Structures are given as C-alpha cells and as structure tokens.
C-alpha cells in the first residue's frame, strides 16, 4: 500500500470510529435514556397509581365497611301518642270529655292547663300570706310611689282612680288642715283560655270548674278597701257569659295585721267562654303620708272534676 492509501485509510478509520462512536453513544444515550426514562416513569406511574388506588380504595372500603358494620345502629325512638298520654293522665275518656284528633295534643300537654295559675305576676310585690303585711314606720310618713316601681307588675294593666274628697260632714266655717284623700289602685288582666291549653269542646260541653282566689290586707283605711270583679267572656271579649263581684265591708276596729281571702268557683257557666277578665281594686289613703292596701297571691285556675 502506498503512502497516500495508508493516509486515507487512517482518515477513514478515524472518521469511521469517531462517527460510530458519536452515533452509537448518542443513539445509546438517547434511546437508552429515553426508553429507560419513558418506560421507567410510565411503569412507575402506572404501577404507583394503580397500587395506590387499589390499595387505598380497598383499604378505605374495607375499613369503612368494617367500621360501619361494627358501629351499633341507632334504635328508632317510638313516636309518642300525645293524645293518648293526655287522655291517660287526665282521665279525659273516663270523664266523657271530647278529644278531637285535629288538636295539637303535644302542645296542650306541654302547657299543663289544669291546676296551674293562669295569671301573670300573681304576686308582684313578693308578699306572703303566711307573714303579716308590712307595717309603715310611725316616725316617718311612707313615701308615695307608683306601683310599677314597687314590684314586677308585668301582665297587669295598672291605673289609678282618684276619689273626690268628701266635705259633706264639715260644718260651714270650719277649717280643716288635713282631709283624707282616697284613691283606688286598679289592676286587671285578661286570660286567653285557648292560648293556655284549653280547647273549645272542653269549655263548651264539659265546662270545667274555674277557681278564683285573692288576698287583701285588712288595712282599716276605710270601710271598703278592696273590690274583686271577674267576668267570663265570649270570643269577642265583650259578651259577658257569667260574672262575679265582691266588695266586702270591713270593721274599722281590731288588728290591722291580717290578710283576708276572697274566693269563688264558676260552675255550669254555659257554652262560649273563651276569656277570663280579672280585675281587683285596693284603696289607698293620703293624709300626712301615703298608706296603701296591699294585695297578693291572686289566682285563676281551671280544674277537672273528680
């Protein structure tokens, strides 16, 4: 081989090896890495996701179902038959009292309409009939105060009626320094019997007994220091079906530290009663100080007969 041929052979050999090297390495690198990367990532992704999904779902499903199976199922609470409960506890059927299905017996039972005082704030001054009425100080005349500032009179409509001064017994020309100045403290409220849990058929047919009680102080301020006026009203709150009034005359002598009770029972009052209007009056006196007649423990309740 001549010198030129050898030189060319070396060039070809060098170039060929270099070409093969570059192409081979690039091909191996690109194909190998790409193949390894793509296949590996794809395989890892698929296997990982599939494994995670299958294991996770299976584990969640198994644990969830197993937990639900182990947890005790809540027992269904039987519905209360409120009508039957009212009939049983109040013996309505035994008394021949009508119990319509249309009424909300759960509401009626919750209001407990029998034997409960239906008046609001029945003892606004917090006085007790087991303790004598408070006596005014003899050293200093008691101050004159509106009733609303003395106690809780919510539910009551409070008014004052001034009585004209009586001068008929004073001879002409006689100067009187102090004349007794009387007034009535009037408190009233109206009880809605249906709103308190009673129903029309009961009031119209059976007509349960309606009890009225009130206590007043024997203040000796005058012969008449207390009045009680009760009216059983129809649906229009104007028509009077039955009424009771009492204005006792007290003795002007004796102990003034007593409570006196007034009571009345309405029976067989007739159909149509829906409201009870309760009104009482207590007499006050202003002469060298203010003196009141107190009232406490006012009561209205409805009772079924035995």
Q: With cut-offs at 50, 70 and 90, classify the pLDDT of residue 171.
A: confident
Lowest mean pLDDT among 106-115, 184-193, 282-291: 282-291
Residue 209 and residue 305 in contact, taking contact as beta carbons nearer than 8 Å:
yes
Residue 261 and residue 296 in contact, taking contact as beta carbons nearer than 8 Å:
no
Could you give the 3-state DSSP secondary structure of residue 264? strand
Which range of 13-27, 33-47, 76-90, 167-181 scores highest in mean pLDDT? It is 76-90
User: What residue has token string 């239906």?
Assistant: 118
What is the C-alpha to C-alpha distance for residues 219 and 160, in angstroms, rounded to an integer?
Answer: 18
Give 240's contacts (C-beta < 8 A, 6+ positions apart): 231, 232, 233, 234
Residue 221 has pLDDT above 80, yes or no: yes
Q: How far is CA 17 from the centre of its chain?
A: 100
Tell me the mean pLDDT in the region 233-261.
93
Task: Give me the pLDDT at residue 170, please.
Answer: 72
Lowest mean pLDDT among 15-24, 67-76, 235-244: 15-24
Could you tell me the sign of the dihedral formed by the alpha carbons of 27, 33, 38, 43, in that order?
A: positive
Task: Give me the pLDDT at residue 95, please.
Answer: 95
What is the C-alpha to C-alpha distance for residues 33 and 29, in angstroms, rounded to an integer?
Answer: 6
Residue 253 and residue 129 in contact, taking contact as beta carbons nearer than 8 Å:
no
Q: Pick from 135, 90, 80, 150: which is nearest to 114 by CA? A: 90
Residue 188 has pLDDT above 60, yes or no: yes
Task: Give me the pLDDT at residue 306, please.
Answer: 86
DSSP 114: B
Q: Six-digit token pair at 280?
A: 């009482």
Could you give the 3-state DSSP secondary structure of residue 272? coil
Could you tell me which residue, 70 or 213, shows the higher pLDDT?
A: 213
Lowest mean pLDDT among 19-23, 81-85, 181-185, 191-195: 19-23
Domain ranges (residues) in the chain = 80-111, 117-164+179-303
Task: Give me the pLDDT at residue 79, please.
Answer: 75
Could you tell me which residue, 230 or 41, shows the higher pLDDT?
A: 230
Q: Report pLDDT digits (tens) over 110-139.
A: 999 999 999 999 999 999 999 998 876 665
Residue 44 has pLDDT above 70, yes or no: no
Residue 282 and residue 295 in contact, taking contact as beta carbons nearer than 8 Å:
yes
Task: Give me the pLDDT at residue 289, please.
Answer: 80
Residue 200 and residue 273 in contact, taking contact as beta carbons nearer than 8 Å:
no
Tell me the mean pLDDT in the region 273-301.
94
Share of the chain above pLDDT 90, in %: 56
Q: With cut-offs at 50, 70 and 90, classify the pLDDT of residue 179.
A: confident
Which fold is adopted by the domain 117-164+179-303?
A: Jelly Rolls (2.60.120)
DSSP 206: I
Maximum C-alpha span of the chain: 178
What is the C-alpha to C-alpha distance for residues 90 and 240, in angstroms, rounded to an integer?
Answer: 29
* Distance linking the first and last C-alpha atoms of the chain: 145
Could you tell me the sign of the dihedral formed by the alpha carbons of 268, 269, 270, 273, in that order?
A: negative
Q: With cut-offs at 50, 70 and 90, classify the pLDDT of residue 53.
A: very low
Task: Give me the pLDDT at residue 68, please.
Answer: 52
**How much is the mean pLDDT over the chain?**
81
Could you tell me which residue, 159 or 251, shows the higher pLDDT?
A: 159
Q: With cut-offs at 50, 70 and 90, classify the pLDDT of residue 72.
A: low
Residue 199 and residue 103 in contact, taking contact as beta carbons nearer than 8 Å:
yes
Q: Six-digit token pair at 38?
A: 């793509």
């Amino acid at each position: 081989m001549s010198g030129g041929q050898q030189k060319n052979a070396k060039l070809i050999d060098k170039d060929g090896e270099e070409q093969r090297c570059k192409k081979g390495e690039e091909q191996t690198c690109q194909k190998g890495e790409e193949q390894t990367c793509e296949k590996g990532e794809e395989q890892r992704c698929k296997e990982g996701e599939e494994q995670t999904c299958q294991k996770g779902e299976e584990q969640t499903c198994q644990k969830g179902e197993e937990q639900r199976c182990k947890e005790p199922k809540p027992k269904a609470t039987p519905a209360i038959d409120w009508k039957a409960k009212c009939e049983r506890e109040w013996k309505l059927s035994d008394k021949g009292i009508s119990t319509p299905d249309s009424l909300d017996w759960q509401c009626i039972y919750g209001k407990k309409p029998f034997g409960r005082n239906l008046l609001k704030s029945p003892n606004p001054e917090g006085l007790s009939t087991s303790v004598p009425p408070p006596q005014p100080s003899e050293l200093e005349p008691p101050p004159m105060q509106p009733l609303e500032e003395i106690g809780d009179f919510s539910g009551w409509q409070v008014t004052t009626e001034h009585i004209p001064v009586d001068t008929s017994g004073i001879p002409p020309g006689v100067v009187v320094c102090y004349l007794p100045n009387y007034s009535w403290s009037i408190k009233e409220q109206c009880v809605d019997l249906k709103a308190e849990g009673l129903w029309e058929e009961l009031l119209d047919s059976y007509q349960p007994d309606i009890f009225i009680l009130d206590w007043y102080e024997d203040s000796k301020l005058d012969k008449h220091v207390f009045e009680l006026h009760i009216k059983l009203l129809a649906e229009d709150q104007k028509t009077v079906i039955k009424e009771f009034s009492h204005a006792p005359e007290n003795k002007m002598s004796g102990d003034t530290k007593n409570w006196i009770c007034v009571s009345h029972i309405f029976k067989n009052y007739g159909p149509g009663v829906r409201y009870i209007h309760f009104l009482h009056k207590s007499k006050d006196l202003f002469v060298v100080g203010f003196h009141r007649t107190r009232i406490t423990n006012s009561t209205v309740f409805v009772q079924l007969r035995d």
